[in-house]
Amino acid sequence: RRTSSRIAPAPQKRISPAPMLFAMRPASKLPQRVGIARAVRVLSTSARPVPSCVGVSPRGDITSEDVVAAQAAWSNAITGITKVYQEGGDFVAAAGYCAGELYGYGHSNVLFKPTRATNNPFRPTGEDAMAYFVGAEAMKNDKFKGEDGGFAINGGQGWSEVVFRNHQIDCNGNTAIAMGDYLFTNATTGDVGRVEYTFGYKKNDDGKMRIFLHHSSMPYEPAAAAPANDSVEEALSMWAESIAKQEDALARFKIGGMSKP
């Protein structure tokens, strides 16, 4: 009797989706397990200074879900760096890890215009970006002294929450662009600030999508409009007429306590 040499495959063990801090809120407000974007490759968290900051690796073209996942990782990076700083840890190393996961330095050109940059508004290198996020003093970079106080640690006050609000996301194969505003909650005062952004993402050679464009700015606040010249002249004319009438009335009142007809 002939027997088959085929061996039945061993039963596959089902692997549950890994948890991820997917939204831009404190973890205490989220369920314990949240579904992740289909394209995220979850790595071991044992060696990560900021465990909730994981770069997104799309399996195909970048999708809107991938962009939202990347934004969640960015939010977690900011609050995670704050946590390391507040606990007295190596927040510079934490920021370096997050920058490597999220920004395309070393993989492509990066067009970065930070919110609080003044004398040096554009940051084309990883070193320039690090000075912005952790401060010129921490990076021992005199070029940015007096300008960079460390955005990721909010000059020492920290951030407790970052919420992205996308106006629109446009996906184009291996790139995607998102525009909107995000809300930053000061970890010390509880104050909330609003900033407007444009983020561009590009899929790099290692399969991860990273930021290649980041433009951030405060909302425009128009100055009080100066009065037009005609309005000024009209106001001066009315003022002169009023003074003349008051003088005339005062002169009449002085004659016998009553005005002449």
Q: How confident is the model at residue 229 (pLDDT cuts 50, 70, 90)?
A: low
Return d(Cα 113, Cα 157) in angstroms, integer: 22
Q: Which of 119, 116, 118, 138 is nearest to 127 (CA)?
A: 138
Residue 129 tokens, joined: 């970006």
Q: Going by DSSP bridges, is the β-strand pair 159-172/209-217 parallel, antiparallel, or unpaired?
A: unpaired
Q: What is the pTM assigned to this prediction?
A: 0.69
Residues pairing with 171 in the sheet: 176
Give residue for tokens 């009438």: 245
Specify the higher pLDDT residue, 32 or 53. Answer: 53
Written as one letter, the residue type at 76 is N
Q: Examine the pLDDT at 46 and tell me if it is beyond 80.
A: no
How would you write 5-72 as a 3-class SS string? CCCCCCCCCCCCCCCCCCCCCCHHHCCCCCCCCCCCCCCCCCCCCCCCCCCECCCCCCCHHHHHHHHH
Residue 108 tokens, joined: 């492509």
Return d(Cα 125, Cα 129) in angstroms, integer: 6
Q: Examine the pLDDT at 251 and tell me if it is beyond 60.
A: no
Residues pairing with 195 in the sheet: 182
* The pLDDT value given to residue 238: 78
